[in-house]
Chains A and B, each alone.
Chain A
Amino acid sequence: GQQLNQSPQSMFIQEGEDVSMNCTSSSIFNTWLWYKQDPGEGPVLLIALYKAGELTSNGRLTAQFGITRKDSFLNISASIPSDVGIYFCAGWDSGGYQKVTFGTGTKLQVIP
């Protein structure tokens, strides 16, 4: 089935630094989503992207829908300790919105 390659798998950063992570797919996507998951909880939607080239912000988070429609990027500016968690990309291709594919996640740890 569809696969999403998410990188990096994990990262340690100093508080205050900017973070960048990305996700690539093997097929063209119609929608890209970014989620954050804290331990013991379900994923929480951060940003949804619907058009190629779209750039959307949510506070210190910015995500972009790649123009090739096969990739997406998430940036976090001025990281803080509560940014710690696992970030997942997700989306769907022409196979339909019912078949959402998820990346394997980027584990972010912030050093105070």
Chain B
Amino acid sequence: DAGITQSPRHKVTETGTPVTLRCHQTENHRYMYWYRQDPGHGLRLIHYSYGVKDTDKGEVSDGYSVSRSKTEDFLLTLESATSSQTSVYFCAIRTETNNSPLHFGNGTRLTVT
């Protein structure tokens, strides 16, 4: 158990509404990540953080923003949700070691109608 909690676990929202997903970790890991998982695409990196207030874009960052004001929380925001953002979103952490693997939370299933 990597001590990662994602909330909510499920959400249905309408096109054009803002949505924020939360990832909370209990072990003070420096690196946190947001991925989306879609059939046929595997897991794709949206944004990641390498410390408080330090974030960077991944390969599919358009339409998403993130914030990390505390070590334990990494928020993913869809400013104006679109149907193409219907997906399962996973948060992941990495320990301090650069070469260490990612450990994932249990995901948030988001449906945009």
- List chain B residues, Cβ under 8 A from A50: 99
Q: Which of B14-22, B36-44, B61-69, B73-81 touches A? A: B36-44
Main secondary structure of the interface of A (DSSP, over half): loop
Chain A nearest CB from B54 CB (Å) reads 12
Q: Is the CB of B45 within 8 A of A99?
A: yes
Q: Is the CB of A48 within 8 A of B42?
A: no
Q: Which of A39-47, A52-60, A63-71, A76-84 touches B? A: A39-47
Choice from A1, A35, A44, A90 contacting B59 with Cβ under 8 Å: A1
Q: How many residues of B contact A (CB 8 A)?
A: 25
**A-contact 0/1 string along B63-103, CB 8 Å cutoff:** 00000000000000000000000000010101000110111
Q: Is the CB of B43 within 8 A of A40?
A: no
Q: How many residues of A contact B (CB 8 A)?
A: 24
Q: Is the CB of B40 within 8 A of A100?
A: no
- List chain A residues, Cβ under 8 A from B42: 4, 88, 102-105
Question: How far apart sit A34 and B109, CA to CA, in the bound complex (Å)?
Answer: 23
Chain B nearest CB from A51 CB (Å) reads 11
- List chain B residues, Cβ under 8 A from A4: 42
- B104 contacts partner chain A, Cβ-Cβ < 8 Å: yes
Assuming the contacts A88-B43, A102-B43, asked whether A42 and B90 have C-beta atoms less than 8 A apart, the reply is: yes
The 10 A-B pairs of least Cβ separation, nearest first, read: A42-B104, A102-B42, A102-B43, A104-B42, A42-B106, A48-B101, A43-B104, A45-B101, A33-B101, A97-B98
Interface, chain A (partner B; CB < 8 A): 1, 4, 30-31, 33, 35, 40-45, 48, 50, 88, 90, 97-100, 102-105
A-B contact pairs, 26 of them (CB 8 A): A1-B59, A4-B42, A31-B99, A40-B106, A40-B107, A41-B106, A41-B107, A42-B4, A42-B92, A42-B104, A42-B105, A42-B107, A43-B43, A43-B90, A45-B103, A50-B99, A88-B42, A98-B50, A98-B56, A99-B58, A100-B45, A102-B43, A103-B42, A104-B40, A104-B41, A105-B42
